Structure formats: structure tokens, C-alpha cells
């Protein structure tokens, strides 16, 4: 497998460049805009939206295998191509239960994996407030907690996830849009964790060290690797990752987001069927980055070691905080001056509030979460205007 087609041309595809070079693989990208980050590193680009299956047919003619950096595709249309012999990795059946958050929760539950309590909001339920309230009442204890309303499809970076504190806001949200939703209990988590796992063509599974992720307004801000957790908990998470990837017969790499509850239980929040923000630290901190690992898996190569090369790594997202065309040279230079820092700038031409413009990873010579937190604060004080 020498020519890999990637559906999606954002930063996740862009960060595959080094791995591709190392493995001698060519990347051909399907993405709508010439300003998308991966256009600069791709051998060739098919300019089209990611859900344009006609464009994917053209992409398929140029590639040995097709993979995803964006899962918001039209599976039904792509399955025609798969039936004609186009090689998708992961195969489409491995994505099918995951693209709708309600189906994803049902799938995980059927596998016996721990998830928050949830239910789907269908139209009839919206018209029956008493029934709806009764379902909500059964969700969680104590009931003073808010509930979480999620769009079933196309949610990312917290878009489509709403923490709802009262009945009026719920009714307003449900009636003001035609989206399909699920409702779940609010998990008063002690921490959020994540793990990256890859599975090869031969069925070998490799998992990365479990990390702590920190979200603000539902968007990932920082990742600390490794998470300060017990060996037992790490082993439990490892089993969750293996169970999932083996059952789906994944060939490729997934990100798995988890909640750690105050009483020490782990619940799966979400599966990303591709490389994930919680694994960006691996570019600079691990023997094999998640991006190289994903390419290894989809190209049928043996997987690489996921081992950390440093006792601690901290990754901080550089999120847009204004609408601007600045390239933030001065802030980037100050951040680059931090010892053992590696800055990755995605080259987007416009900054918008919340947009992921780049990230920085700093390696630490000791196992020290407090120091990692302090470094993250320093980076954020340079990056965000006070």
C-alpha cells in the first residue's frame, strides 16, 4: 500500500506528513478548499466536500487504500464503492455504529462497556412533556445535576453538546431546531481521560499511555501524558480499547474519550474513529506518533511502539480567540522559546474564536503533573490576551 487516500484535509491529515515521508507513502486528500491545511503536504488533492462520494470514487482511482480524517461521510453512498472493491480502512462496517451518537452509545452498551445513562429524543417524546420528564427523572441521581443534550450527528468540539439546567431551556432547544438529539445524565466527573488505540491488519492492538484531557466550554484545551491513575485503572481502560477495536475489527486508529467518576468508575464518553486531539502529544513524545501509527495500520505494516520517550508531556491547544488573519508570529516565538517545546502551526489562513490554529507540546524530564499544569498556564498566558 503506497498511495493512501484521506477523506478530509484538516490538521489531522496535515500531521500525517512526517509519518508518510518516513514510511515512503504518498497522501492524496479529498477536501473542499485549497486553504485546508493538508493541501500543502498532499501529493494531489481532490477538491470536494468530505461527504461527496462521487469525488471519493475519483480519489479511489488514485489510491491503494482510503482512510478518514473526518468521519462525517455518506456511508450509504461509499458502501457502493466498497462493494465494488474499493479498500476502506477502517472498513465501513466499523464506522457504521459510531457516526450517530445514540447508535454509538447503544453499540458500546451492547458490548458491555460502561457508558452514562442515556435515551433518544424522538419527535413523539417532544410532544409529551410528562413522559419526557419521567425519562429524565430516571437518568441520574442526585437529580439536582443538569442533563446533557447532544445532537446525534455531526457534533465536534462541543458543537451540538449542551449542558441543560432547567426544563424551559430544554423545551426551547428541542423545539427550536430540527436536529435529532439524545439526552444523557450529566457525569460530575473527577477528571476526563482518553486513550489512543490502533489495530493492524493482523489483529494486533497497540494502546498508548492513558492521558488526562482538560476541556473548557466542551472544547479540549490541554492534555497531560501520562494520566496520574492506578495500574488497575489503566488496565481497565486498556481492556475497553481492545474490546472495542477487536469487536469492530478496526484496521486503523481510534481515540476513546472517557470520564473518571468521583467513585473511581470509568465511563466511555465518545469514540473518534480516527486520529484524535488527545493523541497529538505522541508526535513529539512517543516512539511512534498516532499519525504514523494510523498509516502503518492502514498500509498493512507492523505497528510501532507507542512508548513515551519522556516522563511527562503536556499538550496545549492554541485556539482562536478573535476573527483575524494574523499569523501570531510574536506569540509563537515566545512559546517556542520555552525549553523542550514543540510548536505545530496548522497554517490556517483565518482565525476565528474556538478554531484550532495549532498546538504546542512540552516534554518534561520528571513525572510531574503540577509542573505540567504550570507550563500549560504559562503557554496560555502568552497565547491568550489577558
Q: What is the pattern of x (binds ligand ADP, CB under 6 A) and - over residues 121-150?
A: ---------------------------x-x
Q: CA–CA separation, 161 vs 181, rounded Å? A: 10
Q: CA–CA separation, 12 vs 275, rounded Å? A: 7
How far is CA 191 from its chain centroid?
17
Nearer of residues 17 and 106 to ligand ADP, judged by Cβ? 106
Size of the site for ligand ADP (CB under 6 A): 19
Let me know how long the chain is.
386
Nearer of residues 257 and 292 to ligand ADP, judged by Cβ? 257
List of residues 6+ apart from 171 with CB closer than 8 A: 129
From 269, 288, 312, 341, residue interacting with ligand ADP (rule: CB under 6 A): 269
Q: Contact at 8 Å (CB) between 290 and 12?
A: no
Q: How far is the CB of 270 from ligand ADP (least distance, A)?
A: 4
Q: What is the pattern of x (binds ligand ADP, CB under 6 A) and - over residues 147-166?
A: -x-x----xxxxxxx-----
Q: How far is the CB of 295 from ligand ADP (least distance, A)?
A: 24
Q: How far is the CB of 287 from ligand ADP (least distance, A)?
A: 27
Nearer of residues 212 and 270 to ligand ADP, judged by Cβ? 270
Q: CA–CA separation, 370 vs 377, rounded Å? A: 11
363 DSSP β-pair partners: 313
Three-class SS state of 276: coil
Q: CA–CA separation, 350 vs 357, rounded Å? A: 9
Asked if residue 328 binds ligand ADP (CB under 6 A), the reply is: no
Q: What is the pattern of x (binds ligand ADP, CB under 6 A) and - over residues 180-209?
A: ----x-xx----x-----------------
Q: Using the Cα atoms of residue 90, residue 266, residue 205 and residue 230 in order, give the sign of their dihedral.
A: positive
Asked if residue 108 binds ligand ADP (CB under 6 A), the reply is: no
Nearer of residues 116 and 358 to ligand ADP, judged by Cβ? 116
Of 236, 227, 245, 242, give the one whose Cα is nearest residue 267: 236
Q: How far is the CB of 188 from ligand ADP (least distance, A)?
A: 7
Where do contacts with ligand ADP occur on this chain (CB under 6 A)? 116, 148, 150, 155-161, 184, 186-187, 192, 215, 218, 257, 269-270
Amino acid at each position: 500500500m503506497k498511495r493512501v487516500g484521506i477523506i478530509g484535509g484538516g490538521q489531522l491529515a496535515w500531521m500525517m506528513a512526517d509519518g508518510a515521508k518516513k514510511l515512503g507513502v504518498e497522501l492524496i486528500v479529498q477536501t473542499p478548499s485549497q486553504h485546508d491545511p493538508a493541501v500543502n503536504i498532499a501529493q494531489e488533492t481532490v477538491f470536494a466536500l468530505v461527504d461527496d462520494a462521487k469525488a471519493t470514487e475519483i480519489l479511489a482511482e488514485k489510491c491503494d487504500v482510503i482512510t478518514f480524517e473526518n468521519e462525517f461521510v455518506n456511508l450509504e453512498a461509499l458502501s457502493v464503492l466498497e462493494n465494488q472493491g474499493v479498500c476502506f480502512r477502517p472498513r465501513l462496517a466499523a464506522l457504521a455504529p459510531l457516526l450517530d451518537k445514540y447508535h454509538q452509545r447503544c453499540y458500546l452498551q451492547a458490548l458491555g462497556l460502561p457508558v452514562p445513562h442515556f435515551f433518544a429524543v424522538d419527535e413523539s417524546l417532544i410532544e409529551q412533556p410528562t413522559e419526557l420528564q419521567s425519562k429524565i427523572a430516571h437518568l441520574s441521581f442526585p437529580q439536582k445535576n443538569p442533563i446533557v443534550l447532544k445532537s446525534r450527528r455531526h457534533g465536534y468540539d462541543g458543537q451540538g453538546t449542551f449542558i441543560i439546567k432547567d426544563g424551559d431551556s430544554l423545551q426551547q432547544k428541542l423545539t427550536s431546531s430540527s436536529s435529532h438529539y439524545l439526552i444523557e445524565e450529566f457525569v460530575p466527573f473527577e477528571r476526563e481521560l482518553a486513550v489512543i488505540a490502533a489495530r493492524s491488519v493482523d489483529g494486533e492492538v497497540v494502546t498508548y499511555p492513558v492521558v488526562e484531557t482538560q476541556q473548557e466550554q466542551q472544547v479540549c484545551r490541554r492534555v497531560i501524558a501520562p494520566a496520574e491513575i492506578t495500574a488497575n485503572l489503566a488496565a481497565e481502560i486498556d481492556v475497553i480499547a481492545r474490546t472495542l477495536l477487536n469487536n469492530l475489527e478496526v484496521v486503523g486508529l481510534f481515540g476513546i474519550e472517557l470520564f473518571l467518576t468521583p467513585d473511581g468508575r470509568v465511563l466511555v464518553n465518545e469514540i473518534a474513529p480516527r486520529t484524535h486531539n488527545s493523541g497529538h502529544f505522541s508526535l513529539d513524545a512517543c516512539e511512534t506518533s498516532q499519525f504514523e501509527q494510523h498509516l502503518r495500520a492502514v498500509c498493512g505494516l507492523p505497528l510501532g511502539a507507542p512508548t513515551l520517550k519522556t516522563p511527562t508531556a503536556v499538550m496545549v491547544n492554541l485556539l482562536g480567540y478573535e476573527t483575524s488573519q494574523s499569523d501570531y508570529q510574536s506569540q509563537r516565538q515566545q512559546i517556542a522559546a520555552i525549553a523542550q517545546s514543540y510548536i505545530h502551526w496548522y497554517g490556517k489562513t483565518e482565525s476565528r474564536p474556538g478554531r484550532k490554529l495549532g498546538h504546542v507540546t512540552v516534554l518534561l524530564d520528571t513525572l510531574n503533573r503540577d509542573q505540567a499544569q504550570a507550563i500549560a498556564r504559562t503557554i496560555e498566558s502568552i497565547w491568550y490576551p489577558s
